[in-house]
Structure 1
Amino acid sequence: MWCAVLRSVRATRVLAERTAAGSVILLRKREHQRINRFAACLYARDSAIGTLLGVNQHFPDNELLSPQAPAASFNKADQDSLLKHAPDQPENPKVLKLAIIGAPNAGKSTLSNQLLGRKLFPVSSKVHTTRCRAQGILTEGDTQMILLDTPGMVNSVRANRHNLEKTFQTDPWESVKLADVVLVLVDVSDKWMKRFLHPEVLKCLFKNSHIPSILVLNKVDLVKEKNNLLEVIGRLTEGLVKGRKAVIKTSKKSSDKSVQPDLPIGEEEGVPPLKKEETGEILEGHSQQRNAYKDLKNRTGWPHFQEVFMLSALQGEEVETLKKYLMTLAKPGEWEYHSEIVTTQPPEEICNNIIREKLLEYLPQEIPYNIKQVNDLWEEGSGGELVIKQTLLVSKENHVKILIGPSGELINKIAKEAGCDLMNAFLCDVRLQLAVKHRKR
């Protein structure tokens, strides 16, 4: 029944023609409210359908019917029209470009999905899930935030060893150059990653030191000894935030901790000014900067972060706090995208990435990295549902049996889970069929 309702909602979309622009755009402003109302009334707040449709079950009743994040369009022509169409500028528009960088598997795509309120980027426990830069657009009120989700940063040696695409080395750097703010994400549950910033991340920050940066400690829910986070912060900031000595302030009402800059260095009562080598300041001058760049390998952190946040992207803990802070950093400027655009990714790319996420999650070792995806069918059914047929080409015959699984259980499970994620991304009924074939070399 609910699929039929969703199809009817999509069928009632209004096509509006802009004579001056000569283009047609798809208006969906009322669609999401209808979907939320449908999920809330028919299945109640605790229903899995509500989660599937993007309804936040923790919102009070009066907030449940508020508009949710726009759906990604599964029709490329519709999306192209919106991308070409002039953005619907508010009276006083503000914009922020945010580059999210970090080591592989730090949780960058998970955080991006949480900020956007819709799953659009692939997430997996395996490294190198994100293969290239992807943009997500979050529009709230008069503010538009453009998220630049990037692959995990790797050096040339590792990229060559694993035959990684050039995007792994170029996209993070290019994203930072375009950004107004850089968000550095660190997996503090990893005993190695929490000891020092990734060398490539540190190099990128040094080369773009004029761009404000913030540090976000992710997966804090997996850290048993919370007090160890204080030492982690000290290492990754070299004891400085906003150019001041970092102090940890604990709320009396809860155990949550926040990092705030103390008085300017040298102004603390009874504390003499710190030397430059103690504060980790980068000396000015061309030759001095070159020497400092060579010495980066001996450093553990970056002393120029503007703020530090601790959260769990997977659980959504403190993500809203981070989002509100980021929105305050937006500056006056015209929007780049229409408010109904949530990502610049083509719909087929979203589909391929989500299916590949499941392959990475359920297949061992190198198998998922050697599978080629071919879209055989992509069309809208008579009832508004999206029909997708994709063939997975596998290089080895024994891998075909592994991917199919006993009685086709594994491939059916992958298709079912990927279909659910696609329903969340496109907000429509999805019929996904996967076939497996041996690819002869």
Structure 2
Amino acid sequence: GKSTLSNQLLGRKVFPVSKKVHTTRCKAQGVITFEDTQLVTAGGKQFNHGLQDNLKLRFWTIQVRYISLSFLAVLVLVDVSDHWTRNCLSQEVLKCLSEFPHVPSVLVLNKVDLLKKKYILLELVTELTEGIVNGKNSSAKTHGIVTETQGPKPHECRDLKNRKGWPRFQEIFMLAALTGEEVDTLKRYLLMQAKPGPWEFHSGVLTSQSPQEICDNIIREKILEYLPLEVPYGVTQVTELWEEGPSGELLIVQNLVVPRKSHMMMLIGKRGTVISKIAQEAGQDLMNAFLCDVRLKLKVEVKS
């Protein structure tokens, strides 16, 4: 859900989104500019742990080597619809938070729209925060944010192996990144936390990715969606043509190289249906991202 949330915060789809793992390979930055304020989101990291039925534990945090005093906040994203993983933070996330307590941390509960029993959210808040938010005892939820009543100050870090939550989150947000519910609330909060300083990017920039990287990622997203199991991870993308057409449209030709003929047949599909869907959907996403007409042609071949 981290790429979906990033796209919602940016207001345009520039990061690939897929149900399969490792969709976003790059550590690209997102750029949010509103009036005289600019925020830059760092490349996120996904921590995975094999659980029952090979379920994955997924949380979003900035990679440790990128954390510094200059960071505005660390967002920890929890999928509340996954009852196998939602009740505790991973050891990697807890270690990251404990090693950099000077960086403000924010807990984001995602996919709240999928929960039929909303009282579960309050239970999760208690578990994931150890009952403490911004140095106070957490209580009721208002407009997607958990409010607080005065309570004890956060206690010192205990042995992380016995810990499930983190008592030093400054705020909690409950949202649905896919539908955009309460995302603006989080965005306004982050903008309010901004500190004076020079902008890193021009106001028209949305991401540190190059246009070619955006293109590769969007096409790869569709490949992940339409090909089964491990097949998408063996596809190599080679751009053969990238130029402006006579009417100002963007002309793109990309060759998709696969290791086996059987993979090529799956990628092409019966009568070319699969590759046509990928090209059509990727082309539309590219037009939405670049705000111009895009003519995308995809070719498939077996690695020689």
Determine if the TM-score, normalized by the shorter chain, exceeds 0.5.
yes
Take 2:172 and 2:30, find their aligned partners in 1: how far apart are those partners? 23
1:176-195 equivalence runs, <5 A: 176-177=67-68, 179-195=71-87
Give the secondary-structure state (helix, strand or coil) at the position aligned to 1:236: helix
Q: CA deviation at 1:257?
A: 5.4
Q: CA deviation at 1:154?
A: 4.5
Take 1:341 and 1:258, find their aligned partners in 2: how far apart are those partners? 30
Take 1:408 and 1:322, find their aligned partners in 2: how far apart are those partners? 43
The 8 Å contact of residues 124 and 361 in structure 1, kept in 2 or not, is answered as yes
Provide structure 2 residue ranges, at least 5 long, that are not aligned to the other structure.
51-60
Q: 1:373 aligns with which of 216, 237, 244?
A: 237
Residue 221 of structure 1 aligns with an amino acid whose one-letter code is D
Percent of pairs with identical residues: 57
The 8 Å contact of residues 133 and 171 in structure 1, kept in 2 or not, is answered as no
Residue 148 of structure 2 aligns with an amino acid whose one-letter code is P
Q: CA deviation at 1:135?
A: 0.7
What is the aligned partner in structure 1 of residue 151 from structure 2? 264
The 8 Å contact of residues 154 and 168 in structure 2, kept in 1 or not, is answered as no
Residue 78 of structure 2 aligns with an amino acid whose one-letter code is V
Q: 1:219 aligns with which of 101, 105, 111?
A: 111
Deviations 1:284-310 (A, max 9, x none): xxxxxxxx4xx2122111100000000
Deviations 1:323-367 (A, max 9, x none): 111110001111111112211111111000000101111111000
The 8 Å contact of residues 144 and 182 in structure 2, kept in 1 or not, is answered as no
Question: Taking structure 1 as reference, are residues 171 and 212 closer, same or farther at Cα in structure 2, changes over 3 Å only?
Answer: closer
Q: Does 1:148 align with 2:42?
A: yes
Deviations 1:263-317 (A, max 9, x none): 132xxxxxxxxxxxxx87225xxxxxxxx4xx21221111000000000000000
Question: Taking structure 1 as reference, are residues 404 and 249 closer, same or farther at Cα in structure 2, changes over 3 Å only?
Answer: closer
The 8 Å contact of residues 135 and 154 in structure 2, kept in 1 or not, is answered as no
Residue 7 of structure 2 aligns with an amino acid whose one-letter code is N
Take 1:112 and 1:340, find their aligned partners in 2: how far apart are those partners? 17
Q: CA deviation at 1:171?
A: 7.0
Instruction: Kindly indicate whether structure 1 or structure 2 has the higher relative contact order, using CA contacts under 8 Å at least 6 residues apart.
Output: 1
Deviations 1:77-97 (A, max 9, x none): xxxxxxxxxxxxxxxxxxxxx
1:34-433 equivalence runs, <5 A: 107-154=1-48, 172-177=63-68, 179-249=71-141, 258-265=145-152, 281-282=155-156, 292=158, 295-433=159-297
Number of matched pairs = 294
Give the secondary-structure state (helix, strand or coil) at the position aligned to 1:264: coil
Take 1:393 and 1:433, find their aligned partners in 2: how far apart are those partners? 14
Give the secondary-structure state (helix, strand or coil) at the position aligned to 1:137: strand
Take 1:152 and 1:361, find their aligned partners in 2: how far apart are those partners? 19
TM-score between both structures, scaled by the size of structure 1? 0.64
Q: CA deviation at 1:132?
A: 2.6
Take 2:82 and 2:262, find their aligned partners in 1: how far apart are those partners? 34
Give the secondary-structure state (helix, strand or coil) at the position aligned to 1:383: coil
1:28-39 equivalence runs, <5 A: none
Q: CA deviation at 1:370?
A: 0.9
Structure with greater helix share of residues = 1
Take 2:141 and 2:260, find their aligned partners in 1: how far apart are those partners? 56
TM-score between both structures, scaled by the size of structure 2? 0.92
Give the secondary-structure state (helix, strand or coil) at the position aligned to 1:138: strand
The 8 Å contact of residues 389 and 433 in structure 1, kept in 2 or not, is answered as yes
Take 2:296 and 2:34, find their aligned partners in 1: how far apart are those partners? 32
Give the secondary-structure state (helix, strand or coil) at the position aligned to 2:29: strand
Give the secondary-structure state (helix, strand or coil) at the position aligned to 1:151: strand
Q: CA deviation at 1:248?
A: 1.1
Take 1:148 and 1:359, find their aligned partners in 2: how far apart are those partners? 25
Residue 141 of structure 1 aligns with an amino acid whose one-letter code is E
The 8 Å contact of residues 45 and 62 in structure 2, kept in 1 or not, is answered as yes
Provide structure 1 residue ranges, at least 5 long, that are not aligned to the other structure.
1-106, 158-169, 251-255, 266-278, 284-291
The 8 Å contact of residues 150 and 171 in structure 1, kept in 2 or not, is answered as yes
Give the secondary-structure state (helix, strand or coil) at the position aligned to 2:199: coil
